[in-house]
Structure 1
């Protein structure tokens, strides 16, 4: 989820914690728990600072180790311990319980969007991305805001957020069933489907779809349950060519390959250089595929420049390549 929704979830868990009889009797413990749930709801995304280094490091690591099982355990211990150091009179077990729950909830909700997490590390490095909740879901965010406002005007926060989370749970079930129906339609039409990646948009009734079959990739949209295929690409493995073998050694391109499960490739030769481009097919928007990795090499196969990330126009991409020499 986005940072704002995670923050709202931290507040919501603090409200739910008022149902805990021990917390009801101790205002100091309540404030410590609220601090713990807010910090716990944000802690796994500390790897966002990697974006300050470069996109390759960010893409390879964001929602990786910081969302893993060991990291969740570490956050669950470190956050309440830090708070307890400033308020040693509070009940540590209840502080730990609610702070740990906030960390778990953060990672749990992240697995349902298209970006996903490596939540099963260290047992598996595969990305867990169920793809039926948008990274920013306006309905989920709005329900949290309604709960926070209700709390601020005097309604009981515990019962308020208990009701809200029951509604959100039903919403998750509804979105899962909608995705399952789409996948079944696709599997009925394409008999050799190997993978279907769904990516909900901010509009509730519109989904992006990327389909992998034995020989092809299909990119489409689902609107009100009706699936329309927009693009078709032949499925071709990366060629065993010197220019490609050199390009995939670049940090930007290897980061892209570690993250993207459905992509196509292009090699364009010019007078003085060759451009190798990988294009993620999951995020088609306004007629473009904005998530790419590009490497340019001279005629001696020396890398001139490279980039990976989101680019919404060719002009901006070329400017980034000029500004970011390898």
Structure 2
């Protein structure tokens, strides 16, 4: 999810920790747990430092190793023990480590619910896993947790009970969103007469409708599912290796294109002839929006099919859909 939401959940996890009598009774431990849950809620995204190596490296590594299966077990002591010591809560170091572990795990679980996905089962598999049930920013989760945090800051005497209720409702909400996703997925698969694995979906911000992509074999069908009805918007040809044009083949060794294929699942390629050569654009159809595909790798070639420039990433503002 977005950074603001992760940090907010770090605050509310610290509030939930007040249910532990030891945390409630010792201010130094409260400070340590708050620092640990804030840092733990953001720790998996420390891989953003890969931006310094360029967009291709960032695409390859973001939500990869730092979100992997052993990552929480590394982040928890790495952050928890120093924080406990710095806050004078060394006596309760393992308590701080435990809440750090909760924060890191909650971050990874929420990212798994997003359509972008995570490599959370590394080193067992490098496959990108995504449940496609939540947008990058979920207004309902944010509002609920923000309300609980504000009550805590305003010294509401029963804030701990509010945090317990909010996290119980969060678990129910996540289960409900996943269940709705499965129902819609089955309906879309039945509509096209295909296996569910051939359909991917994107939730809209408010959750009232879903964007989808269905793999038809030689083409992708894109559209919306809303009000129980399938509304197909367009069909796009697949980028199949045996049917690629020569300019497209010439871009396959480019760093940006290799990073793109490392991550993308539903691929469309467009070759355009320009004044001095060609523009080849590889797009991930999963993230289409209003006939556009904002996640892409674009490569400029000369007439001799030599790479002149390349660009990879999102061609949209962070607040614009799709929210991944």
**Contact 2:115–2:133 (CA under 8 A) maintained in structure 1:** yes
| 2:47–2:66 contact (8 Å) kept in structure 1 | yes
2:94 equivalent in structure 1: 93
* Equivalent residue for 1:262, pick from 245, 250, 266: 266
SS in 1 for 2:4: helix
The offset of 1:271, in angstroms, is 5.0
Q: Is the 8 A contact 2:248 2:269 kept in 1?
A: no
Matches for 1:153-232 after TM superposition, within 5 Å: 153=154, 154-193=156-195, 194-232=197-235
1:68 to partner: Cα distance: 1.0
CA contact (8 A) 2:239 2:267 kept: no
SS at match of 2:129: coil
Question: SS where residue 8 of structure 2 aligns?
Answer: helix
Q: Structure 1 residue 285 and structure 2 residue 289: aligned?
A: yes
- Normalising by structure 1, report the TM-score: 0.90
**In structure 1, distance between residues paired with 2:296 and 2:27:** 51
Point out the more displaced range, 187-196 or 296-305. 187-196
Which residue does 2:322 correspond to in 1? none
TM-score by length of 2: 0.91
What does residue 19 of structure 1 align with?
19
Which residue of the partner structure matches residue 131 of structure 2?
130
After TM superposition, give the deviation of residue 109 of structure 1 in Å. Answer: 1.1
- Structure 2 counterpart of 1:294: 298
Runs of 4+ residues deviating >6 angstroms: none
Task: Give the CA deviation at 1:242.
Answer: 4.9
Superposed CA RMSD: 1.9
Q: How many residues align?
A: 313
SS in 1 for 2:135: coil
Q: 1:25-80 CA deviation, whole Å, 9 max, x = no partner?
A: 32211211111111100111111232344221111111111111232221111001
> Does the aligned pair in 2 maintain the 1:205–1:225 contact within 8 Å?
no
Structure 2 distance, partners of 1:290, 1:302, is: 25
Structure 1, unaligned stretches of length 5 or more? 314-326
Q: Which moved more, 1:5-14 or 1:187-196?
A: 187-196
Provide Cα deviations, 1:292-324, integer angstroms capped at 9, x if missing partner: 1111111222210111112259xxxxxxxxxxx
Partner deviation per Cα, 1:273-301 (whole Å, 9 max, x = no partner): 12221111122223321111111111222
Q: State the SS of the aligned residue for 2:198.
A: strand
